[in-house]
């Protein structure tokens, strides 16, 4: 028996609850099972039950055995003081809350359909991929769409939580947090961490003060990235280094070591040097970037703002060590990198900002952006080709990525509308 399955049978009342009693023989009437909680705290909140004629409103906690209550230290956790019913597969002892009060217990061992549980276990063991693979064609399209809609919101809420944590760290400085996440996601997966570190070495306010002159902005960013430590031969490099040494003394700066950056097995357009040059150009052209959120900037304007070309040098080079390319390249952000910024920075910020100020139009704007961008084609989205609904936009691909990460990896099928439909079929 698993707790996931117990959650499922409680949520959908898949047990014999006629003449239900506690382990002490008190009659129990379930008026509301409660809201399923995936976070810390009791498993179901806002439940409503009548026990021995007394109506209770509170939480329900579910375990395989009663003794799991103590194993999880709930008896010393005040978050569990509002638990009004303990639901277990097997009762093996009394449980108390922090106040020393006995929690009524219901045992399900003799009340559930064990054949249905064995059928569920066989479902989980279906193939090497997702348990629903090969059966999903029988699931109504509306069920799939509803699940993906929920997963998309969950993904935006998860990213909102990351933004909230950074806001706390920065003293509620929206511009600074936007600045940090822009750097992070421009680094892509390989250089996300050093890019994030660079955003803290060059704060939003410091970069804004020095962004009017593109070369000064470049000197500040490359210098703080630890890329101007050695003397060089090129005029451009020497000018940047000279400017940075002045800025370093002026602002009492300390740079990164330079060893943090990764270049190996990367396509030159993704080199961190080019990314930093692109950042300098973006900030030099548009210094108040958070305004794109406040203004609900249309997609085509976002593409112009973040697709600005870097300085002439970076239209011929990918790094300081590379020779000037015989063929000039644009040097600006490519299509995939631009979409990455919109999906991972603009959209979550707009969604969270709207919720923070109580303006739903920002949430609508975020969803509109996702619907306007082509769906991502990666190893996760390709796993869901059998859904046969098509990954038409980033709205679809982001929902599938969340479904994969939140539920599919750990086979949490009973928390998924698709899985529940198949288990109940």
Confidence of residue 281 (pLDDT cuts 50, 70, 90): very high
Model confidence, pTM: 0.83
Directed axis angle between helix 214-224 and helix 272-285, to 10°?
Answer: 140
Looking at the predicted structure, is the pLDDT value of residue 325 above 70? no
Side-chain-side CA neighbours of residue 320 (13 Å): 24
Q: Per-residue pLDDT averaged across 359-368, rounded?
A: 97
DSSP code at position 375: P
Q: What pLDDT score was predicted for residue 219?
A: 97
Q: 231 falls in which pLDDT band (50, 70, 90)?
A: confident
**According to the model, what pLDDT value does residue 278 have?**
96
Instruction: Say if residue 326's pLDDT is above 80.
Output: no
Give me the pLDDT at residue 282, please.
96
**H-helix or E-strand containing 193?**
helix 192-201
Give SS3 for 36: strand
Specify whether the CB–CB gap between 241 and 255 falls below 8 A: no
- Does residue 368 carry a pLDDT above 90? yes
Distances (CA, A) of 107 to 15, 63, 411: 11, 10, 26
Q: What is the mean pLDDT of the chain?
A: 92
Q: Of all residues in the chain, what percent carry a pLDDT higher than 70?
A: 97
The pLDDT of 129-157, averaged and rounded, is 90
Residue in the block written with tokens 């959650």: 7
Res. 40: pLDDT tops 90: no
- Report whether 341 contacts 287 (CB < 8 A): no
Whether pLDDT at 79 is above 60: yes
Is residue 87 within 8 A of residue 1, CB to CB? The reply is no
Looking at residues 300-326, what average pLDDT do you find? 86
- Show the tokens assigned to 253: 């700066």
Do 51 and 85 form a contact (C-beta atoms < 8 A)?
A: yes
The pLDDT value recorded for residue 121 is 87
For residue 132, with 0-12 CB atoms within 10 Å meaning exposed, 13-18 middle and 19 or more buried, which class applies? Answer: buried
Let me know: does 170 contact 200? Beta carbons within 8 Å. Answer: no
Mean pLDDT over 144-171 rounds to: 96
**Pick from 412, 402, 416: which is nearest to 4 by CA?**
412
pLDDT at 324 over 70: no
Confidence of residue 327 (pLDDT cuts 50, 70, 90): low
So what's the pLDDT on residue 53?
94
Burial class (CB in 10 A: 0-12, 13-18, 19+), 25: exposed
Q: Mapping DSSP to helix (H, G, I), strand (E, B) and coil, where does residue 17 land?
A: coil
* pLDDT score recorded for residue 123: 85
- At 126 the pLDDT is 73
Predicted confidence band of residue 386 (pLDDT cuts 50, 70, 90):
low
φ/ψ of residue 311, rounded to 5: -65, 165
Cα 74 from Cα 65, distance rounded (Å): 13
CA distance 167 to 156: 16
pLDDT confidence tier of residue 127, bands split at 50, 70 and 90: low
**Residue 346 DSSP code:** I
pLDDT digits (tens, 9 = 90+) for 6-21: 999 999 999 998 899 9
Q: Are 153 and 403 in contact (CB under 8 A)?
A: no
44-51 and 54-65 strand pairing = antiparallel
Measured CA to CA, the distance from residue 61 to residue 86 in angstroms comes to 5
- Is residue 425 scored above 70 in pLDDT? yes
- State CA 366 to chain mean position distance: 15
Reply yes or no on whether the pLDDT at 84 is more than 80: yes
Question: Cα(194)–Cα(190) distance, rounded to whole angstroms?
Answer: 9
Low-confidence winner among 194-203, 309-318, 386-395, 398-407 (lowest mean pLDDT): 386-395
What pLDDT score was predicted for residue 399?
A: 96
Q: How confident is the model at residue 407 (pLDDT cuts 50, 70, 90)?
A: very high
Look at residue 332 in the predicted model and tell me its pLDDT.
87
- Name the least confident of 25-34, 318-327, 408-417: 318-327
pLDDT of residue 132: 86
DSSP string across 180-214? HHHHHHHTTTTTHHHHHHHHHHS-HHHHHHT-SSH
What pLDDT shows up at residue 352? 97
| ∠ Cα 134 139 141 (to 5°) | 120
Q: Which of 62-71, 117-126, 198-207 has the lowest mean pLDDT?
A: 117-126
pLDDT in tens, 247-265: 999 999 999 999 999 998 8
The stretch 76-86 carries a mean pLDDT of: 94
pLDDT at 382: 86
Has residue 169 got a pLDDT over 90?
Answer: yes
pLDDT of residue 322: 67
Task: Determine the 3-state secondary structure of 46 from DSSP.
Answer: strand
In whole angstroms, what is the distance from residue 163 CA to residue 290 CA? 13
Q: Which of 118-122, 206-210, 278-282, 348-352 has the lowest mean pLDDT?
A: 118-122
């Amino acid at each position: 028996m698993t707790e996931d399955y117990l959650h499922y049978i409680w949520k959908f009342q898949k047990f014999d609850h006629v003449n239900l009693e506690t382990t002490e023989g008190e009659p129990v009437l379930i008026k509301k099972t409660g809201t399923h909680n995936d976070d810390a705290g009791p498993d179901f909140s806002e439940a409503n039950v009548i026990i021995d004629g007394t109506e209770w409103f509170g939480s329900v906690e579910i375990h395989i055995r009663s003794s799991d209550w103590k194993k999880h230290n709930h008896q010393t956790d005040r978050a569990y003081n509002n638990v009004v019913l303990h639901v277990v597969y097997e009762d093996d002892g009394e449980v108390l809350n922090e106040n020393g009060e006995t929690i009524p217990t219901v045992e399900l061992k003799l009340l559930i359909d064990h054949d249905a549980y064995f059928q569920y276990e066989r479902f989980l063991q279906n193939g090497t991929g997702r348990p629903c693979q090969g059966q999903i064609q029988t699931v109504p399209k509306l069920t799939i769409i509803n699940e993906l809609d929920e997963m998309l919101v969950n993904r935006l809420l998860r990213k909102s939580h990351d933004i909230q944590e950074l806001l706390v760290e920065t003293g509620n400085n929206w511009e600074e947090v936007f600045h940090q996440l822009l750097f992070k996601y421009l680094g892509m997966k390989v250089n996300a961490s050093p890019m994030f570190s660079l955003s803290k070495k060059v704060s939003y306010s410091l970069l804004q003060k020095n962004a009017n002159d593109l070369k000064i902005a470049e000197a500040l960013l490359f210098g703080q990235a630890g890329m101007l430590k050695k003397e060089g031969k090129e005029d451009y490099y020497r000018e940047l280094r000279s400017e940075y040494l002045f800025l370093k003394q002026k602002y009492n700066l300390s740079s990164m070591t330079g060893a943090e950056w990764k270049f190996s097995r990367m396509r030159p357009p993704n080199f961190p040097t080019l990314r930093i040059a692109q950042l300098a150009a973006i900030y030099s052209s548009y210094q108040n970037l958070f305004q794109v959120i406040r203004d609900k900037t249309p997609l085509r304007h976002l593409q112009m703002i973040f697709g600005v070309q870097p300085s002439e040098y970076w239209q011929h080079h990918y790094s300081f060590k590379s020779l000037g390319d015989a063929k000039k390249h644009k040097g600006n952000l490519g299509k995939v990198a631009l979409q990455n910024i919109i999906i991972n920075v603009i959209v979550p910020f707009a969604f969270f900002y709207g919720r923070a100020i109580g303006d739903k139009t920002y949430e609508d704007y975020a969803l509109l952006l996702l619907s306007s961008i082509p769906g991502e084609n990666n190893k996760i989205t390709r796993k869901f080709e059998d859904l046969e609904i098509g990954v038409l936009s980033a709205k679809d691909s982001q929902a599938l990525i969340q479904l994969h990460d939140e539920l599919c990896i750990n086979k949490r099928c009973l928390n998924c509308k698709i899985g529940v439909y198949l288990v109940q079929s």
